[in-house]
Amino acid sequence: MLLGLDPLLTPDLLHALASAGHGDRIAIVDANFPAAANARRLIRLPGADAAAGLRAILSVLPIDDFEPDPALVMEVVGDPAATPEAVTDFSRLLRGAGAVPPRAVPRHDFYALAREAFAVVATGERRLYGNILLTKGVVR
């Protein structure tokens, strides 16, 4: 055990977050997301919801402030203006970390971006649309 770290920050997750460079993306995905089929590096947090995973990751990961949309979520299919409950939670957590709220992208665009992500963190999130992509920033 280490002092001061969220217990969701497993050794595999910490290694991935530390190994990622500025501009690399980390996907945090829900239980419905085809993570194994879309991940270059897959880290599982099966007992955690996506908001808890995001909270833990934001405690150690700087969010990019060079680009306008460092956080992306998946649009609701058939209702792109809708804001799912999980996305409301993500927005609150990002604001608390001093980052901008996420921008929604179409489902298949999100899948394509997740396939290119440095790592995919598969959570046990059961709420629909509990998926977010983060772009790593720099430590000043």
The residues of the chain scoring below 50 in pLDDT are none
Q: What is the pLDDT of residue 140?
A: 85
Look at residue 5 and tell me if it is in a domain.
no
SS3 letters across 21-67: CCCCEEEEECCCCCHHHHCCCEEEECCCCHHHHHHHHHCCCCECCCC
Q: What is the pLDDT of residue 43?
A: 98
Q: Would you call 49 a catalytic residue per the annotation?
A: no
Alpha helices per DSSP H over 61-123: 85-96, 107-116
What is the total count of domains within the chain? 1
Give the neighbor-by-neighbor strand order of the sheet with 103-105. 42-45, 119-123, 25-29, 132-135, 71-74, 103-105
Q: Would you call 22 a catalytic residue per the annotation?
A: yes
Q: What is the pLDDT of residue 116?
A: 98
Please identify which of the residues 6, 12, 69, 111 carries the catalytic annotation. Answer: 111
Q: What is the pLDDT of residue 112?
A: 98
Look at residue 1 and tell me if it is in a domain.
no
Please identify which of the residues 30, 49, 64, 89 carries the catalytic annotation. Answer: 64
Look at residue 93 and tell me if it is in a domain.
yes
**Which residue range(s) make up the domain with 30?**
23-135
Element (H, E) at 74: strand 71-74
Please identify which of the residues 22, 24, 79, 129 carries the catalytic annotation. Answer: 22
Q: Would you call 129 a catalytic residue per the annotation?
A: no
